[in-house]
Structure 1
Amino acid sequence: MMFSFESFEPSLLSKCKRLIELMISSPHNLTSVRIFERAVTVHLEDVLIPFTNAMLTGSCVDIGSGGGIPGLVLAAVFPKSSWLLLDSIGKKTQEIERFAREMELSNVTVKTARAEEFALEERESFDSAFLRAVARCDVSMELAAPLVKIGGSIFLYKGPGWNEEKRFASVAEERLGLRLSQEKEYCLSDGSARFLVVYEKEVETPREFPRRVGMASKSPLGGSK
């Protein structure tokens, strides 16, 4: 049974479906899912189900945006939010810019940069940060926390392995000034489990974070497996 998108404005949702078409047809292999209906489940349902009947405003950054998900999807259905989509690979950011033009999104900008380096320019500049399929939770938290304002939120999209992965989060929470705010579990129409994990930034992240490029993954705050 397909998820119902009834809570989202149809004209805005149509932009999201256009994104799926663009991703599938892109020569840069931005999604491994080549069937439209399946891509709607894997990408649109995953991003939108936890925001059903919700509101999103303010300044948002999508870290490691890849093909533009979740940033372009959420920018489309929440036009009062403003977005910066960040990725370190130029071919991907060029495609994201093209997708945003095709979708006629005026609330999106795109930048090619590593999150560790971008944080030196835009520290504590965003109300919210989003990461999907980027890295383990503690690595993602280190990349995101310096960019988010005190009182802001970090949203991590996670799969069915979250209950095992979250054991790596506690040290990162403490050192980065974060607090676990919400773990929202939901299912896609194919029955697969998903989680949207939300952290609130309570205090300023120490200036030592993020560490230099690659260190968050090489020596994660939560320790090795």
Structure 2
Amino acid sequence: MNGPDTGRAETPADEAPDSETLGTSEAVRTYFGDSYEQVVRYAELLREQGELRGLIGPREVTRIWERHILNSAAVVPYLPTSGAVADIGSGAGLPGIVIAAMRPDLEVLLVEPMERRTTWLGEVVSELGLTNTEIKRGRAEEYHEAFEVDAVTSRAVAALSKLARMSLPLVRVGGEMVILKGRNVAQEVDPARKVLRRYGATDPEILEGRTVDGVEATTILRARRTK
């Protein structure tokens, strides 16, 4: 899903690293470790089919690593060490597919309402051999009584107040909402406080997600559900 806040820090085009070079660099290979081959295949699929299938914009095809893959990977250190994570509005599988590849110890639920996107997700899961991933077609709100997870994540879905209403009912008590947002997310916190309190969430932390040198940090917001 696309929303008003992309969850990506903008880098001027003349300063952007070459994505092909970045994706095959030793720094990126080391960063992803055992998951690198799956992640690089996912990047290839996005490059080959992403624009054609309406998953990414035409200007993003040549910048898949920095704008999508590494941006999504930045959330992984802030996820729980075990249990289940739901990626709501998963769309092209960002960040859910990247999480599933990097963290085979987690159960990853990809929640997406659009049929053409769930078809894509199914193809990617099969191609990458991700056995820890389940696709759930529907809006997050449709699953509020169906399951609870240890963390809910999302990227470029909605403003924080709306996102909290969608996400927090899916989070078990003691679990967290850990979302990728843009640099101006602090401006969304005050309008969302009432909703956050309603669901027993702590005041949100705004965190910096870094991956490899030369790629701008991602802004991450985290809030724990206490009741």
TM-score by length of 2: 0.79
Question: Partner residue of 2:41?
Answer: 18
Residue of 72, 85, 91 corresponding to 1:66 = 91
Question: Partner residue of 2:196?
Answer: 173
Asked whether the 8 Å contact 1:136–1:165 carries over to 2, the reply is yes
Alpha-carbon distance in structure 1 between the residues aligned to 2:78 and 2:118:
30
What are the residue-to-residue correspondences of 1:52-131 with 2, within 5 Å? 56-122=81-147, 125-131=148-154
CA-to-aligned-CA distance 1:144-165 (integer Å, 9 cap, x gap): 1111110001111011121222
What is the deviation of 1:83? 0.9
Asked whether the 8 Å contact 2:201–2:226 carries over to 1, the reply is yes
1:194–1:167 Cα change, 3 Å: farther
Matched, 1:198 2:225: no
More RCO (CA 8 Å, sep 6+): 2
Question: Partner residue of 1:211?
Answer: none
Alpha-carbon distance in structure 1 between the residues aligned to 2:204 and 2:187:
18
Alpha-carbon distance in structure 1 between the residues aligned to 2:86 and 2:217:
25
Instruction: Say what the alpha-carbon RMSD is for the aligned residues.
Output: 2.3
2:132 maps to a residue whose letter is N
What is the deviation of 1:192? 4.5
Q: Aligned pairs, how many?
A: 199
What is the deviation of 1:196? 0.9
Question: Partner residue of 2:13?
Answer: none
Alpha-carbon distance in structure 2 between the residues aligned to 1:201 and 1:101:
33
Question: Partner residue of 1:134?
Answer: 157
Instruction: Name which of structure 1's ranges 49-58 and 9-18 shifts more when overlaid on structure 2.
Output: 49-58
Identity, % of aligned pairs? 24
**Structure 1: gaps (5+ residues):** 204-225
Instruction: Name which of structure 1's ranges 139-148 and 8-17 shifts more when overlaid on structure 2.
Output: 8-17
**Structure 2: gaps (5+ residues):** 1-16
What is the deviation of 1:121? 2.2
Alpha-carbon distance in structure 2 between the residues aligned to 1:55 and 1:171:
26
Structure holding more strand per residue: 1
What is the deviation of 1:182? 3.0
CA-to-aligned-CA distance 1:67-111 (integer Å, 9 cap, x gap): 011111011011000011010101001100100111111000101
1:191–1:59 Cα change, 3 Å: closer
